[in-house]
Structure 1
Amino acid sequence: MAEIVLGVSGGIASYKAAELLRLFTESGHSVRVVPTVSSLHFVGAATWEALSGKPVQTGVFEHVDEVAHVRIGQHADLVLVAPATANILAKAAHGLADDLLTNTLLTAHCPVVFAPAMHTEMWNHPATQANVALLRERGVVVLEPAVGRLTGVDTGKGRLPAPAEIYAAALQVLEGRPQDLTGLHVVVSAGGTREYLDPVRFLGNRSSGRQGYALAEAAVARGARVTVVAANVALPDPAGAEIVRVVSTEDLREQMHLAAADADAVVMAAAPADFRPAEFVEAKIKKTADGVAPDIHLVENPDILLELVGARTSKRPVIVGFAAETGDARASVIEHARAKLARKGCDLLVVNDVSAGKVFGQDESEAVILGADQTVEEISYGPKIRLAHAIWDAVVQRLD
């Protein structure tokens, strides 16, 4: 059981912190809620006391004998501030301590996570961006806000990520993962592309995007700035990652090249369609009276992984490919994968044996990580988040 401090600052998203508190307490953790005075305009102290079973205070002159402004931070295993306003980010970046929460942030020796929520203009302001950069340089995890409906009629980047996704990110940080991706930009592709035949039908594949999203979640926990290029993924967005949505292989190709331009590592976990219809039919293709199916001519899609390898002019980014393979009469899964690694020229190739429907759409997986330097690492069957961290471990070795 961990000792968790849940800081709540004064934004309209404060009410969502109650769901976060429930997730932590129901999983057995002890949570002390430390709100700011302004946050109590949105959710009162009685709510936090009832849900946490612990007293709530905002100032340093309440219960002075307990020296709470020092003790709370000293005894915490994790400090999570959600929502984190522009104001609390500025105070934390510059070491201001004018209430119990900011004093707790200064005395904490444990990992600290901020889940920002504010209007888009506030998030994009140079002052906020500078404060976020400064916090990240110090090893603090600052999640990227989600894109969506804000207060009033406004929509944009600045929405608090879903509580369940903040919870998942916080648990990864709580596990004590190294902050070895701090200051780095990593790009992950996820899901499966769709190549439309007509307005209704498409060619696609079974990739759910779970492994790509696990990679994003793991990278956020290790301090990275994460861009996910998501092809038709129907999963909750991983907290702290920027999501770029695409449909077709050509869409994926364009966005991957854009995102990879300043990336330190690129992981092609998506499953792009190898072929697309030569022509898109504007109206739905109808059945014919004679029962003869139409001939559909396919053309080959560009090889995005090969292009990304060819586009780099230095050792960065480190590039990781994925191979969903089945053995056949010509070669085994690993033999096919070694040939693919040599052909693509990437630094690492994650090999999944997908015989009999394994891996796709599942929460667990097994894989072999092949290195261009002849390294081989077998990852036994288990949660995809474990495989994700193994991949980042291999990436970090090559970044060094």
Structure 2
Amino acid sequence: MRTWTPPELPELPGEGSLPRLFNTATGRMEHPAIPEGRALLYVCGITPYDATHLGHAFTYLAFDIMQRAWRDAGIETVYAQNITDVDDPLLERADATGVDWRTLADEQIGLFRSDMFRMGMIPPEHYIAVTEQIDEIAAAVRGLQDLGFAYAVPTEGAAGDDIYFDTRAAERESQWRLGDVAPYDRELMLRLSAERGGDPERPGKRDPLDPLLWRSARPGEPSWESSVGEGRPGWHVECSVIATGALGGAFTVQGGGSDLVFPHHEFTAAHATALSGTPLAHAYCHAGLISYQGHKMSKSRGNLVFVSKLLDGEHPGQCGRPADPSAIRLGLLAHHYRSEWEWRDEDLGVAERRLEAWRDGLARESADPVSSVGVLQQLRAAIANDLDTPVMLATLDAALDRGVDDAELLSAAVDALLGVKL
């Protein structure tokens, strides 16, 4: 699927350091393996029924910064992202609004691409919709059946049986173990499964945690003929197939929001490992979730701040004044990517004032300017320390308040590393 035009990243003198990243699976700061100087990144994409809010933007900005850090360290990056363009929430929204689900998906994918372009995000080289990979996903489900890692559950009113992943068999016969990605206890896993698209109470399953691989066709739902019968894919196996098809196995980082740790990333890894015999990724990195008006920003609650509305000046309190994309980036980058925090409407004004102060500082003549080369070194040290953007912003606050000796270099550094235009 078509992505969006990439931003131009200025070239900087020298090179940064390979960033250390927090690996959710191990709970440690690590340097993920990057063979042959080529980092492979997969980030879970949107379900296109209501995009793009600041929670999305915060997640994709984290992995945009990650790629900038790698590139500054002389590392080539290859980025893949999926689009879950057929799923229950999309179908429910389409039904509620009387819009064809394909039309709704196309509209929201277009809006997402526009938002990402306007925000200066590095696009994926591989941007793949689930509906483009139905045959490949069905073949993977068949492969899991053939290996003894899948089983049928009788399904009344459907064209055939639903197919589920056999968690216990995979633990016995593959390299994957439950908890490899999400180091949680079983009680928490059961609760999260129920909250995040699983069906632990479904009769006929061998284990309540077993995830759906293939949903047999139901009347009125989209479906496809396949090697495992008529139906559509389950959530986790979609990403397993798209990620490994684009990047191969044991790629550098699997990324997404922290709400994807379980069950999504756990079982994405399980399916891929069961099929290939190799781990899905070397590291699992997750962005924190944003709250708004006292609650986690979510589509079900409706407390969303949309990027497009901020950019167009349509968010309440903006009085029709469009936001500078760099100001939105600064409002998000003021928080470490792994933190949980709350967006307040006044945060945009704070970010706009910071951006204005930086631009003024860049033009300031100083009798005792700060070394721009020295500031660049500090920025590189901070971004290499698990993408510590709050430290980067504080470093720039101090330097630009005093004035710098090479405005052109510092402007290029801020653009290349943070995507902020001065």
Compare relative contact order (CA 8 Å, sep 6+) and give the higher one, 1 or 2: 2
Q: Same fold (TM over 0.5)?
A: no
TM-score scaled by length of structure 1: 0.29
> Which structure would you say has the larger Rg?
1
Q: Which TM-score applies when normalising by structure 2?
A: 0.28
Structure number with the higher helix fraction is 2
